[in-house]
Structure 1
């Protein structure tokens, strides 16, 4: 069951919980905002639904709230950082912020981050870039949770990729994992007792399956584009490892829990290349052509990545953010128990 909760209440509640877990006021506020924003934008699978796992990692010492990322190498507009096992969403936000800062100065900037944790909603950092007027590209590796094409065990990560392009009439923000469905999305369907709308992975016999529970159990998600998605996952992992100097997916898999990840953040400032007005006009023409497409269902129209986000954000701001009642109750209970202690 879902209920709607005001965005400001979600932020305040999450912040209070994090303050009980060694987060400074500033870090607690930003981390709470990033979680709440994911749910506000219609991505609860990587927002509020992940918050209790985040706390569990803190309690286990796998996420170190007091840790700050450190620049360990620099060459031109490229920096390599060590995340020191700090909060993944805060490390990612800081890395994209630094890439944006470099882009504003030199036209582009790249930060490669090693020894970090799950960044939660990947799209947050794409929106961070476009809201600063920059093109943003970022990707991460994960633990092994997807088979190589033809494989019978998870060897690849679902390695999310974000490509974000600023546009006055609506930014383009592609946020996608290398699996047909993100595991967070499958977990929502599994909890609701629903199958996925399309084939989402393999069962233990290697047959295509729409059962999220069976797929999650064996971590056998279906790569997007079949063998092409498997290949893209592999090269994104390689790039994240090489550029950051951190762990590859198979090494992340040796850790207890999903930690020690490698990530890359790139920002380009169109103003620095004198392309801002030209780019805006060209992007509009691409979108206009897309919208002219014929459709199979009368009344339908094609959408570009990120098109619905601003509408969803506005609706949820006015009407409250939809939250899973069980998860919200557990978070509130967590806060109550801490206050009692």
Structure 2
């Protein structure tokens, strides 16, 4: 079923106000969750909202906290998220990176003791809307098996890279596993197999069985050994630069709270030249003949823009069961 975007925002805000959120924070969080579903990232929009509410009630998220500055080293700043709402902390830190980059050309804001930022791409879009290149990284609990290993000791650490463009920003938002755990759960809820092998079953065999992968929590890293190495390096970057917690710390506590994150903003050069370079690269990439009928080659973020337009025109696609669950909160 589909519902109007504004109704989705209003429903989220109603619940957040009941939980004691200040008006401004309720607006920011409600908009973030609604935008995720609007853009087709259902696993971190409506579908994730009940878990967010549960974390608030359990005291894992401090609804009243705001980031505080730890220290500043010119274009590099370290902030403490104080266990506040991840979406608010992340937006705040990307705003800070944007401000510093506009002054210095480049900026890096490292954040510790924060919570799940939901859709990492949101902060890439945020930078691109400001006319800047954005790079965002977070770590997470271990759900990914290192190449050559048998148990999950790597976080499915997302990487976001965004480049501004007048005709539609180019935004890569990817986990370092073939499928995020949320996507695996989505396939499982529909009783569907994964399109490609995405993880290991309890016997350590690669499989497309979404239920088996969800149960084992052993995700397959992208590019096998390459994704394995990338995941570890991303954890190193966010933990070292923020002086915060690493994947090991959160995994041992069995809760994805108090994560470490990184927000980088870069001011590109001449606007016209940047636009020309980006368009040239997109055009060349899309010149490859499509391997499947009616499925053209897409640049990162292109499908997001199409889904967003459809959602605003026809209503946001929601899981009716989860929608009713949220309305009952």
TM-score normalised by the chain length of structure 2: 0.98
2:58 match? 60
The answer on whether the counterparts of 2:221 and 2:228 sit within 8 Å (CA) in structure 1 is: yes
Which deviations, in whole Å up to 9, do the C-alpha atoms of 1:35-87 show, x marking residues without a partner?
00000001111111110111111111000100111110100011101000000
Rounded to whole Å, the distance in 1 between the matches of 2:161 and 2:60 is 29
Number of the residue aligned with 1:332: 327
For residues 268 and 23 of structure 1, what CA distance do their matches in structure 2 show?
A: 33
Any idea what SS the aligned residue of 2:167 has?
A: coil
What is aligned with 1:315?
310
Measured after TM superposition, the shift of residue 275 of structure 1 is: 2.8
- Aligned to 2:260, the other structure's residue is in SS state strand
For the residue of structure 1 that corresponds to 2:63, the secondary structure is coil
Matching of residues 272-291 of structure 1 within 5 Å: 274-291=269-286
Which residue of 98, 111, 114 corresponds with 1:113? 111
82-91 or 98-107, which deviates more: 98-107
Cα distance in 2 for residues equivalent to 1:324 and 1:300: 25
- Matched residues in 2 for 1:109 and 1:16: separation? 36
Partner of 2:89: 91
The offset of 1:256, in angstroms, is 3.8
5+ long unaligned stretches in structure 1: 335-341
Q: Deviations over 1:70-116 (max 9, x none)?
A: 11010001110100000011111111111011111221211100001
Which residue number in structure 2 is paired with residue 6 of structure 1? 4
The residue number in structure 2 matching 1:180 is 178
The corresponding residue for 2:67 is 69
**Structure 1 residue aligned with 2:299, among 285, 301, 304?**
304
Q: Is the 8 A contact 2:38 2:307 kept in 1?
A: yes
Work out the CA distance in 1 between the residues paired with 2:211 and 2:196: 14
Higher alpha-carbon deviation: 34-43 or 210-219: 210-219
TM-score of the pair, normalised by structure 1? 0.95
Q: Distance in 2 between matches of 1:290 and 1:226?
A: 24
Task: State yes or no: 1:252 paired with 2:250.
Answer: yes
Q: How many residues get paired?
A: 329
Q: CA RMSD in A?
A: 1.0
Tell me the distance in 1 between the aligned counterparts of 2:196 and 2:328: 36
**How far does residue 297 in structure 1 lie from its aligned partner after superposition?**
3.1
5+ long unaligned stretches in structure 2? none
